[in-house]
Amino acid sequence: MSEIDQKPTLDEKTRPCEPSTDPDYLAWKERAVKTALTDAKANPDQLVSHAEMRRRFGLER
């Protein structure tokens, strides 16, 4: 089997990598976090608990 025909393993796809240094991505990420925090402070009644999120996604322990 040629190297191209081999599919990557899960381990190869989930290896840690270096953090991004792309300034556009970093600016987008900072805006997204600030927006989420602002929304959470403005609407605390709409927050969903970790337990509820785990239940919704079937990740209960």
**Whole-number pLDDT of residue 10:** 86
**Whole-number pLDDT of residue 36:** 95
CB 24 within 8 A of CB 31: no
pTM score: 0.57
**Whole-number pLDDT of residue 2:** 55
| Dist CA 21 CA 28 (whole Å) | 12
Each residue's pLDDT tens digit, 1-54 = 456 678 888 888 888 889 999 999 999 999 999 999 999 999 999 999 999 999
The residues, any chain, with a CB within 8 Å of residue 40's CB and separated by 6 or more, are 47
